Amino acid sequence: MALDLFAGIPVTHYAAALEWYERLLGSPPAFFPNDTEAVWELAEHRYVYIEARPEHAGHARNTLFVGDLDARVAQIAGRGLDPTARETYSNGVRKITYRDPDGNETAFGGAST
């Protein structure tokens, strides 16, 4: 069964969010479905998108599990963003969380090193 995932993030200020997510994700969007949405393809058939929906902004929470968490965090830092939280779970899995200007959370998780 084929499956595509689109994880949506409602934002207040589309232009500001577009710039912030380009810095977080390290690239411009893969495509723009319309004037109020931008979509990034994170992996085959796995997308995250921002959408101008001020009445819902600030409530999204997404976690992306990556192979090299330290490299990802270093790359994001190189683009000028710092995490708002760092956690290590009892099994050694780590989670690094970033919050956009609206308070939406995007976290990156990784196995213990």
pTM above 0.85, yes or no: yes
- Tens digit of each residue's pLDDT (9 = 90 or more) over 15-24: 999 999 999 9
pLDDT at 113: 64
| Token pair listed for 15 | 């232009």
Three-state secondary structure string covering the chain:
CCCCEEEEEEECCHHHHHHHHHHHHCCCCCEEEECCEEEEEEECCEEEEEEECHHHCCCCEEEEECCCHHHHHHHHHHCCCCCCEEEECCCCCEEEEEECCCCCEEEEEECCC
Q: Residue 54: what pLDDT? A: 97
